[in-house]
Amino acid sequence: MRSNSSAQQDRILRVFERYVNDARQLGLVRLRIEDELLEGGFITVDGRRLVNFGNCCYSGLNTDDRLKKASTAAVERFGPAFSSSAAYTSVDLFTDLEARLRQMFDAPVIVPTTTTLGHLSCLPLVVDADSLVLIDAQAHASLHLATQVLRGGGIEVISVPHNDMDALEAAILDAGDRYRKIWYLADGVYSMHGDVAPMAAIQRLLDAHELLWLYVDDAHGVGWAGKHGRGVVLEQVPMHERMIVAVSLVKSMGSGGAGLVFPNEELAGRVQIAAGPMTFSGPLQPSALGAAVAACDVMLSDELIDIRAKLDTQIDLILRLGREFGLPFAAWDRTPIWFLHIGRNDDMLEVARRILADGFYVNVASFPAIPMGHAGIRFTHTLANDLGQIQALLESMARHTSEVIGDRVIDLRAPEEATLEI
C-alpha cells in the first residue's frame, strides 16, 4: 500500500479504511468465531452457524485428531514455548521435522517460523548487490514486502505483468549483461485468484538464461498437490539448480511454520547460519512442531492419494457448475482457490451480504489487495466441505450475482492491464 507521496498515501489509506469499515458493518470481515470445538466445515459467528468457505487448510488436517495429539504431546514435553535462539539450542522436534521435509521434497530444507520471515531471511542474503529483481505484479504481499528490504539495500526491483512470460523474457534481455544475477519472484498458486504459475515456461527461461534465478512461494500449493504433497511447483517441474521454493506448513498442512527448499546443501546451510531472522526471530514453538511432524507423516503416506482424489472431485464440480451458471471466475485453474469477479466494491459487498444471509461465509476482496474496480469474492474449499455444500454455494453465488449485476459486462482483463484510478 506504498505510494510516491504522503498525500497519495493518505488518500489510499482513507479508501482502504472506508472499504474495511463497510465490510465490517455487514459482518463480512474481522470476525471472531465462537465455536466451543471447531470441527467440520462450519464456523459460528454471532450465534449463527455458517458453512465456512474461507479456510485454506485444503486437506482438512487442521482439525485432525492426529495433529491435535502430536501438538499436545509436544507441549507436555517442552511446554508451550521454548525461548531460545536456534543458534544456541532448539528442541529435537526440529530434527524430526527437517528429516521428513527433506524426504517430502527430496532436497535440503530449512524451517523458518513463517513464510514471510522465510522471505526476509533468504532474499536479502542470496540477492547480492549486482542483481536485478523482477517480481510478478500479483505475487503475494509478503514477497513485495521483502523487495522493500532489497530496495533499501540498493537492489533494482521491477514489477512485470502477471504470468506474462514474454514480458519476463523481454525484461531479462533488456537487462543484458549489466547484472551478475537476475531473480524472478513469483507464486506457485496465486492466493487471490487461484491461478498457477506457468512453471514449464519458467523452466525453459531458466535453461535459456544462465543469469536467471527463481524464487517461488508455493504456500498454497503444498500439502495437496505433487508427490508427497511437495506442491504445485514441483508437481510441474523438477527442482532446478537455480531455484528456491518457499512453502507454508500452515495452509494445507494444518500445523505451523514454513520451509525453504534449496537446490543444494551449501546454499541451505548459508541461509540457515547467516540469515538474520533465522537467528534473531523466535523459533517455531513445540505445539506447532509436533503438529507439523504429524502432518508430514500424512503427506508421506498413501493417504495423500485419497486427499488429492477428493479435492479433484470438488474441483470438477466447481468447474462444471461455474461454466453452467456462467460465473465470472477470474481463473479456471485446478486449485481449491476461486475468485468471483464482481467489479465495483458496493456490488461486491451486496453479493457477499446476500451469500452470507444464505448461510455461507466467503472472503470479500477489494482494494488494495485487489486493484480498484476489480473487487470480487474469494472462496476456498477443503475436505471439510461436502459436494452438497459446494453446489449450494455456487447456486447462491449465481443467483445473487445475477440479481445485483444483471447484464452488466464485467471487465475480466488482468488488473495491471486495466485503467485503475483511486
| 422 confidence band (pLDDT: 50, 70, 90) | very low
If asked whether residues 330 and 261 sit together in one domain, one would say no
Q: The CATH number of the domain where 177 resides is what?
A: 3.40.640.10
% of the chain at pLDDT higher than 90 = 85
Which among 393, 348, 422 is positioned nearest to 22, based on CA atoms? 348
Q: Which of 244-253, 269-278, 316-325, 393-402 has the lowest mean pLDDT?
A: 269-278
Among 341-345, 396-400, 411-415, name the one with the lowest average pLDDT: 411-415
Label the pairing between strands 48-52 and 131-136.
unpaired
Q: What pLDDT, on the 0 to 100 scale, is given for residue 408?
A: 66
State residue 410's pLDDT score: 57
Which three three-digit cell numbers place residue 238?
Answer: 523438477
- pTM for the full predicted model: 0.93
What is the β-pairing status of strands 131-136 and 156-160? parallel
Q: Which CA distances in Å does 8 have to 2, 63, 147, 226, 417?
A: 9, 44, 21, 43, 21
105/223 same-domain check: yes
Written as nine digits, the cell of 259 is 520451509
pLDDT bin (cut points 50, 70, 90) of residue 179 is: very high
Residue 220 in any domain: the answer is yes
Summarize pLDDT for 70-119 with one digit per residue, the tens: 999 999 999 999 999 888 999 999 999 999 999 999 999 999 999 999 99
189 with 329, same domain: the answer is: no
Residue 26 pLDDT: 92
196 and 311: one domain? no
Beta strands in 68-114 (DSSP E): 109-110
> What is the average per-residue pLDDT within 143-150?
96
Average pLDDT of 137-150?
96
- pLDDT one-digit tens code per residue, 180-229: 999 999 999 999 999 999 999 999 999 999 999 999 999 999 999 999 99
Q: Looking at residues 359-380, what average pLDDT do you find?
A: 92
What is the mean pLDDT of the segment spanning 2-26?
Answer: 83
- Please check whether residues 288 and 313 belong to one and the same domain: no
Residue 422 maps to a domain: no
pLDDT category, 39, cuts 50, 70, 90? confident
Q: What is the largest CA-CA distance in the chain?
A: 63
Q: Which of the listed residues 299, 327, 359 is the one where a domain comes to its end? A: 299
The parent domain of residue 43 ranges over 6-58+302-417
CATH code for position 404: 3.90.1150.10
282 forms beta bridges with none
Domain count, the chain: 2
Name beta bridge partners: 261: 109, 245
Q: For the chain, what is the mean pLDDT?
A: 93
Q: How confident is the model at residue 419 (pLDDT cuts 50, 70, 90)?
A: very low
Q: What is the pLDDT of residues 313-368, one digit of tens each?
A: 999 999 999 999 999 999 999 999 999 999 999 999 999 999 999 999 999 998 88
Q: Domain check: are 223 and 331 in the same one? A: no
What's residue 411's pLDDT? 59
End position of a domain, from candidates 299, 331, 358:
299
Q: Do both 99 and 191 map to the same domain?
A: yes
Same-domain status, 349 and 279: no
Domain end among 299, 319, 343: 299
Whole-angstrom distance, CA of residue 158 vs CA of residue 171? 9
Is residue 1 included in any domain, yes or no?
no
Closest-CA residue to 143 (of 124, 167, 163, 161)? 124
